Structure 1
Amino acid sequence: MAKISLTLIQTFYQVARHGSFSGAARELNLSYQSAANHVRRLEQILKGKLIESEQGAKRISLTPRGRALYSLLHPELDIMLERLTKLIESQRSSLRVGMPQAIFFYLFPKVLSRFREAFPDIEFSVYERDTVLAELVKNGSLDVCISERYFGDPVVPQRLLGSYRLSLVFPRSWGEPPEQQDIPAWAEGKPFITYEPGQTLRNLAVDFLGRDGAIVQPAISTSGSSSVMRCVEAGLGFSIIPSWCVGAADVAITAVRLTNLPEVRVYFGSAGFLQTHPTVQRLFDDCLRELVGPVFDPPRGKEYAHPPL
């Protein structure tokens, strides 16, 4: 088979997406005839009809083989082209990773230290967010995401890193901690500090505190666990946060590990075509070595071992 060029694939993709040769021609800055010629050439290479078009008709239709090819390309081709553009523009290798602020602030320095030993010339660019991570990977703005959400999106495949427990934290001056089953009643009337609307940990905490019909109204909302902890330390209220945010030095805080809440799972995701890329695989391996065991519980139901060094 003759070699298929990216130009032919891109032209077919745009014709299929716009439903016309003229729409693709405008998108790619080609003539109508060039767009048509590119598709005909691709059909010759593949030895099969991809597009049906009647003489003088403005719209085209895809053959079964054309639909199959378009489904294979969409939306990966857009993501790949966007990444290629950004790589060419940057002139420097970079890995763009999105994750919740707490994971980066509390856990990631050790991961970064190991990763930087292997790739000292790569810029590690971090986007500290909990929401919209899947969309950012899909539109080419991120390469990798570490998330407490499972997207269920084949374009952004995810691997389970592990899970962790949550803790109730409040100023030590408030006295003895409540029994876990009494926490929702104990919390009524007390100022609640939590994360921005839409964040996974806020949703879990609100569901837990409101399980008996109580109305949960946060007093303070912030973007990350470091800010939540600072507010609790200042005596402004209580919160429910990852257990690994609380250290021995946090003497102004009482922490209660919540075993009656489900463990929070943490997933490592990337664009599908980057899943086996050496840089992405190395970051995944470093996350396993530095986070699973010391911080996260390993995945259940199978024997777990760190990958070989």
Structure 2
Amino acid sequence: MIRIQPGFGMPHLPDFEAWAIFAKVAEHGSFSGAASDLNLSKATVSKAITRLEFRLGTSLFHRTSRKLSLTESGRASLDRATRILAEGEAIEEEITEGAAVPRGLVRLSAPMSFGIQHLGPALAAFFKEYPEVSVDLRLSDTRTDLVAEGIDVALRIGVLSDSSFRARRLFAVRRPLVASPDYLAKHGAPTHPRELEKHNTVVFSHLAAPTSITLHHPHQGEFIARIQGCLSVNNADVVVPLLTGGLSMCLMPEFLIWRELRDGKLVEVLPDWSSELLALYVLTPPGTVRPVRVSVLIDFLSKRLSKAPWAHELPKLD
């Protein structure tokens, strides 16, 4: 009879449970928050972290009486630990809930203006179809760190840079230059982007180049127009009354002003010139398996939002 001595001739398996607990502690910023979320005792959570730190020979958290924060080793480990937790949850749910009713919490992040305008009605319809799924909706115009904040799904509008996240392009979003008929009657309609510097144009302070607009013409090429105006702002919702009131013009996402364009309260300025076409993306953390509750929310929002009057067909990628 052959006996295998512990630690000899046998793979040294990672402590997956402790890594998953570590990810939860980092997400909540406390042992008690992680314990409550995982339905474990605080002592069990604390022992798992201690066990992991002993095994690694380094601390993962700085501990004080008031604050818990990640060490450099903790920050370096968090991304992969979060993947371990997410993959484990997803595998179990895929097996146990494959034919069952989706249930559980989905953490969803979206841009502020887009979320206010369109996610309320969409989620109301979603909950009627999936009553056992709950959503933690976080609206912000800042780029959310999906892994650090434990986000399951993020909606983003823009030109997506290279990313390790899983990304799905849903549809195109135009940003026409618009003004009211009253504004144009009073100040005149520009015939070329160079004339925009003479007009009162809203400046979006959160953009990389807030005082310029880049427009493209199919024959005349690209032109960078300088702009100035009475309002500099970091959110587009407040701009709509300014536009319909005849006080200014602005480059606006169509999902915010499509009704005003339809009703003639706003008209497109320089219609032969266009800004860079943006897209609505769905982002999820890296990994090959998604929980059922996440998949049904993504599919529902994709189908519903693609029917919106401002959602345009995406051009083919080269």
Per the normalisation by structure 2, the TM-score is 0.60
Q: Which of the numbers 164, 181, 185 marks the counterpart of 1:172? A: 181
Query: Are 2:176 and 2:251, in contact at CA under 8 Å, matched by a contact in 1?
Result: yes
- Cα distance in 2 for residues equivalent to 1:258 and 1:108: 32
Q: Where does 1:208-227 land on structure 2 (aligned, <5 Å)? A: 208=215, 212=223, 214-227=225-238
Q: State the Cα distance separating 1:8 from its structure 2 match.
A: 5.6
| Cα distance change of structure 1 residues 203 and 144 upon mapping to structure 2, 3 Å threshold | farther
Asked which structure has the greater RCO (Cα within 8 Å, sep 6+), the reply is: 2
Instruction: Indicate if the aligned counterparts of 1:275 and 1:281 stay in contact, CA closer than 8 A.
Output: no
- Residues in 1 aligned to 2:211 and 2:300: alpha-carbon distance in whole angstroms: 28
Partner Cα separation in structure 2 for residue 191 and residue 234 of structure 1: 13
Q: 2 CA distance for matches of 1:162 and 1:119?
A: 24
| Root mean square deviation, CA, Å | 4.4
Mapped contact 2:206–2:234 kept (Cα < 8 A): no
CA apart distance, 1:147: 0.8
The CA deviation string for residues 267-293 of structure 1, in whole angstroms up to 9 with x for no partner, is 100222486222221122122212225
Query: Are residues 1:77 and 2:81 paired?
Result: yes
1:263 matched to 2:277: yes
**Alignment match of 1:139 (pick from 148, 156, 168):** 148
* Conserved? CA contact 1:163–1:263, under 8 Å: yes
Distance 2:17 2:292 in 1: 27
1:184 aligns with 2:196: no
Q: 1:152 aligns with which of 162, 167, 176?
A: 162
Secondary structure of 1:125's counterpart equals strand
Alignment length, in residue pairs?
245
Structure 1: unaligned runs, 5 residues or longer: 14-27, 40-52, 59-69, 85-91, 303-309
Shift of 1:191: 1.7
Q: Deviations over 1:50-99 (max 9, x none)?
A: xxx9xxxx9xxxxxxxxxxx9x96513157769x9xxxxxxx95333222
Q: Distance in 2 between matches of 1:189 and 1:300?
A: 34
Aligned to 1:21: none
What secondary structure sits across from 2:182 in the alignment?
Answer: helix
- Asked if residue 296 in structure 1 is aligned to residue 311 in structure 2, the reply is yes
Equivalent in the alignment of 1:207: 214
Q: State the alpha-carbon separation in 2 of the partners of residues 157 and 204 from structure 1.
A: 33
Correspondences of 1:213-252 after superposition (within 5 Å): 214-244=225-255, 245-247=257-259, 250-252=263-265
CA distance in structure 2 between the aligned counterparts of 1:243 and 1:5, rounded to whole angstroms: 50
Relative to structure 1, is the Cα distance of residues 103 and 277 closer, same or farther in structure 2, using a 3 angstrom cutoff?
A: same
Q: Distance in 2 between matches of 1:6 and 1:29?
A: 15
* Conserved? CA contact 1:115–1:286, under 8 Å: yes
Q: For 1:172-224, what per-residue CA distance to the aligned partner results, in whole angstroms no more than 9, with x for missing partners?
A: 21236747xx342232222212434137xx76963339x65654335323343
Percentage of matched positions with identical amino acids:
14
Partner residue of 1:6?
16
CA distance in 2, matches of 1:129, 1:12: 26
Residues in 1 aligned to 2:130 and 2:156: alpha-carbon distance in whole angstroms: 23
Looking at structure 1, the residues matched to 21 and 117 of structure 2 have their Cα atoms a distance apart, in angstroms, of 46
Cα distance in 1 for residues equivalent to 2:147 and 2:312: 29
Q: Give the corresponding residue for 1:99.
A: 110
For residues 302 and 53 of structure 2, the distance between their equivalents in structure 1, rounded to whole angstroms, comes to 50
Structure 1 CA distance for aligned equivalents of residues 306 and 297 of structure 2: 13
TM-score, normalised to structure 1, is 0.61
Pair 262,293 (structure 1): closer, same or farther in 2 beyond 3 Å: farther
Instruction: Answer yes or no: is the 8 Å Cα contact 1:80–1:140 preserved in 2.
Output: no
Local SS of the residue matching 1:272: coil
Q: 1:81 to 1:288 in 2, by over 3 A?
A: closer
SS of equivalent residue, structure 1 residue 246: helix
Report the Cα distance in structure 1 between the residues aligned to 2:235 and 2:195, rounded to whole angstroms.
Answer: 24
